Amino acid sequence: MSRNHPLPGFPSEVNNDPSIDSQATSRVRQRHPGRPLRSPEDCVTVTRIMPADFLDLAGRDVLVMGVANRRSVAWHVAQMLTDAGGRVIYAVRSDERAETVRTLAGSDAPVILCDVERPDEIQRLAEEVSSVTNRLHGIVHSIAFADYSAGWLPFHETPRSAFLQAIDISCFSLVAVSNALRKLIDPDHGSVVSISISTTRMTAENYGYMAPVKAALDSSICFLAKSFSTFSRVRFNAVCPGLLKTSASAGIPGYVDSYLYAEQATLRKQAVQTDEVAAAVAFLLSPRSSGINAQGLVIDAGMGINYFDDQLVRGPTAPMETDDPESSS
């Protein structure tokens, strides 16, 4: 039986096999009970195109930098990559962090020490990664640091040394690491993903100088993508999450209050979860995102468009207004 409307790009055995229609219909009914089916053609597309490993990360080697503990974005990314069949090579800045990674990932996990403030250690990182793999498919740069030891200060009083150190660790390290590893990164399918923030123009006093630092990181992503394009197709992108529950954020003065406020500013009234950020990173590392380059993918649950939410403007005790006619019945 031939289809009345053959699907373009499909081989004839797909368009002419009647069993595929019933298989597809059955699968959709199992996954989405109660959903009306439009046509067998809609279903067969899902059945025949979607592979089991949609992200195609199995067998790929990815360097993950910045695991501090099990709450780290980097650790959540590493777990997703491992679950997808990828191999993770870890880079951390201290013996203590290395021990943490081995506790989390197992004693056999490849862990390399690298303090990104030291150029010699970045060069040694490249040498040690090359001893583990001859082809790196991705880099996850989840490194940020700000010295708040002086306490909260208005931005114009930011200590020069603290600002430059934050730039060095949080931003320039991406440039230095990418350059050191450029010959190892897959020139055709390599992907580098850094972790930024959802907006660098929200002037939260307690975040201090880190927003300008992240702005420099966002710009560096674009310039790295451009400069690498002269000799490769390596992609550079950032994932830009809203406020998260991480150990690093706990060190920011007044962060808990900001986190709770930001949660109410989301459209769903639930803060962004670390796994949601990790999933975005995994997608950008995968070949499925091959057309995305020099971009920042915002993961903020709609917070960025919800500044004038009625509950925020009028206060948490204000009654919620709705246009739903059934709500008043």
Quote the pTM value: 0.81
* Three-state SS at 21: helix
For domain 61-305, which CATH number applies: 3.40.190.10, 3.30.450.20, 3.40.50.1370, 3.40.50.720? 3.40.50.720
Residue 52 pLDDT: 60
User: CA-CA distance, 303 to 239, in Å (whole number)?
Assistant: 15
Provide mean pLDDT across the span 4-16.
Answer: 47
* Three-state SS at 87: strand
Per-residue pLDDT tens digits for 235-293: 999 999 999 988 777 767 778 889 999 999 999 999 999 999 999 999 999 999 999 99
Residue 312: pLDDT band by 50, 70, 90 thresholds?
A: very high
User: CA-CA distance, 195 to 206, in Å (whole number)?
Assistant: 19
19 vs 199 pLDDT, higher one: 199
Compute how many other C-beta atoms are within 10 angstroms of the C-beta atom of residue 14.
17
* Domain(s) of CATH 3.40.50.720: residues in the chain: 61-305
User: CA-CA distance, 150 to 135, in Å (whole number)?
Assistant: 43
Provide mean pLDDT across the span 7-21.
Answer: 47
Structural tokens at position 11: 């081989």
> DSSP letters along 24-54, please?
HHHHHHHHSTTPPP--HHHHHHHHHH--SST
What is the length of the chain?
329
Residue 328: pLDDT band by 50, 70, 90 thresholds?
A: very low
Per-residue pLDDT tens digits for 163-209: 999 999 999 999 999 999 999 999 999 999 999 999 998 888 778 89
Q: What is the 3-state secondary structure (H, E, C) of 157-177?
A: HCCHHHHHHHHHHHHHHHHHH
Calculate the average pLDDT of the chain: 86
| pLDDT surpasses 60 at 28 | no
Q: What is the 3-state secondary structure (H, E, C) of 100-133?
A: HHHHHHCCCCCEEECCCCCHHHHHHHHHHHHHHC
Residue 33 pLDDT: 54
User: CA-CA distance, 189 to 195, in Å (whole number)?
Assistant: 20
User: CA-CA distance, 14 to 212, in Å (whole number)?
Assistant: 54
Residue 321 pLDDT: 56
258-279 b/e (C-beta count within 10 Å ≥ 16 → b): bbeebbebbeeeebbebebbbb
Provide mean pLDDT across the span 77-96.
Answer: 97
| pLDDT surpasses 90 at 13 | no
User: CA-CA distance, 106 to 188, in Å (whole number)?
Assistant: 31
Check if the beta carbon of residue 108 is closer than 8 Å to that of residue 124: no
Distance of CA 103 to the CA centre of its chain: 23
* Three-state SS at 240: strand
Residue 35 pLDDT: 47
| % the chain with pLDDT above 70 | 79
